[in-house]
Amino acid sequence: MSKGETVAQAPDETAAGTLAVTDSRTGQQYEFPITDGAVRAMDFRKIKTGPDDFGVLSYDPAFLNTASCRSAITFIDGDKGILRYRGYPIEQLAEGATFLEVAWLLRHGELPDQAQYDQWVHDITYHTYVHENIKSFLQGFRYDAHPMSMLCSTVAALSSFYPASKNIHDPAERDLSIIRLLAKVPTLAAFIYRHIKGLPFVYPDNDLSYVENFLSMVARMSEPKYESRPVFTKAMEVLFILHADHEQNCSTTAVRTVGSAHADPFSAVAAGIAALYGPLHGGANEAVLRMIEQIGHPKNIPAFIEDVKAGKGRLMGFGHRVYKSYDPRARIVKRLADEVFQEVGMDKDLEIALELERIALSDDYFVSRKLYPNVDFYTGLIYRSMKFPTDFFTVLFAIARTAGWLAQWEEMLLDKEQKISRPRQIYVGYGERPYRSQLRK
């Protein structure tokens, strides 16, 4: 399909009209254009009571109704449960694409042809090694350091190895930084895994695919060539695709915000990793497993659900800020999880998870609030069956999301309307008051 021949348009793309506003303080009337279903917040600054008035602000804590950019990368319709990368449905990409093909698509806007793809895979494969000093850097962490703390710090540290990466307006430097980040984040992640386990680091193997190489760096022991189980390779490839981008979520906003100050991309991506670490964002898949461990036995589920309904905690892996009918990624992951569990078998924790899901989907508390399982409800279970430690799950998410962060970072840089991110506030503190020290002098 050629550009412009899209199957379905994002809503209201061409709708035009105006918003008429009357300021009851002054009786003054204003008319603001509505473009793409949005009014410009800066137009409200024209609404003033007098020349010294700053103008009306829009107040939107947590950006519930504020578009911070125009983006052509990812389209989500939360009510209908639609997710598309560059117009391609996530279901089709998960079915047929590779993660690196999707990473190219996210960045360039079109699918790569064979020559472009081969070059892209080659470039990423040949940048997977990290400077040897990174190993000593990692050795400085305690054995029980959280892998996301380690990943965040080592990705930030990479910026010191590539000082030219701060030349963000040079397309060749951007290109190199993007390739380096996509190539090295899995290596860092695998080294972190080996550090936690007290195992020697395994260097990248250029004969393997992106996913196979990552699994090799994680799991290879004395065998000369690592061969991953096909069901795990497939699961990882699909999970990476599903997690590759999700438009303006918390971590992507962090990357764009730090990037808007013209920091280098290693520092911007480190900021994204820091945001992803939080249990309300990427940390949710880890929180799901911790919740299941805490429940301990299927017989404890009813009491746990009652506690959640009484506001004594949340059912982790349920609910989403954007998806209010279902999370399309969750459907794909559930099928994938079934395939994996068929091969590796069920256990007590999996039984608890499936029973939690069954009860929550039929309980009015969750149904009325449109709380459905999100992608993280199932991903943690798959990662666990692959024997990844629970606190490593978010690292796997971060490897995939690096593709989206970089595409969004570059789109932000090339967007002429963007400037350094700098929200306003409504000051609610004291007025001026004289300084009177409370200290003993």
Q: What residues make contact with ligand CMC under the rule CB under 6 A?
A: 246, 249, 280-282, 284, 308, 314-321, 369, 371, 374-376
Please say which residue, 204 or 380, places its beta carbon nearer to ligand CMC. 380
CB 303 within 8 A of CB 294: no
Closest residue to ligand CMC, based on beta-carbon distance: 319
| Least distance from ligand CMC to the Cβ atom of residue 254, Å | 12
Catalytic one of 245, 281, 327, 391? 281
Q: Supply 68's token pair.
A: 């911070």
Q: How many Cα neighbours within 13 Å face the side chain of 182?
A: 29
CB 333 within 8 A of CB 239: yes
At 73, is the secondary structure helix, strand, or coil? coil
Active site (annotated) includes residue 376: yes
| Least distance from ligand CMC to the Cβ atom of residue 65, Å | 12
CA distance 421 to 441: 42
| Least distance from ligand CMC to the Cβ atom of residue 295, Å | 14
CB 372 within 8 A of CB 361: yes
Please say which residue, 86 or 281, places its beta carbon nearer to ligand CMC. 281
User: 2: phi > 0 → left, psi -120 to 50 → alpha, else beta; which?
Assistant: beta
Question: What does the DSSP 8-state code read for residue 30?
Answer: E
CA distance 318 to 235: 21
Give how far the C-alpha of residue 327 lies from the chain's centroid of Cα atoms, to the nearest Å. 14
Please say which residue, 308 or 337, places its beta carbon nearer to ligand CMC. 308
| Least distance from ligand CMC to the Cβ atom of residue 312, Å | 10
Please say which residue, 234 or 321, places its beta carbon nearer to ligand CMC. 321
Residues 257, 174, 111, 101: what is their CA dihedral angle, to the nearest 10 degrees?
-90
Please say which residue, 157 or 337, places its beta carbon nearer to ligand CMC. 337
Active site (annotated) includes residue 349: no
| Least distance from ligand CMC to the Cβ atom of residue 425, Å | 21
CA distance 211 to 302: 39
Please say which residue, 265 or 319, places its beta carbon nearer to ligand CMC. 319
| Least distance from ligand CMC to the Cβ atom of residue 114, Å | 33
Catalytic one of 246, 320, 327, 391? 320
Q: Taking the CB of residue 344, how many other CB atoms lie within 10 A of it?
A: 17
199's enclosing H/E stretch is none
| Least distance from ligand CMC to the Cβ atom of residue 61, Å | 11
Query: Which of 345, 255, 303 has the alpha carbon at shortest distance from 69?
Result: 255
Catalytic one of 245, 264, 376, 391? 376
Q: Taking the CB of residue 95, how many other CB atoms lie within 10 A of it?
A: 11
| CA dihedral sign, ordered 83, 423, 314, 398 | positive
Please say which residue, 104 or 318, places its beta carbon nearer to ligand CMC. 318
Active site (annotated) includes residue 320: yes
Residues recognised as catalytic = 281, 320, 376
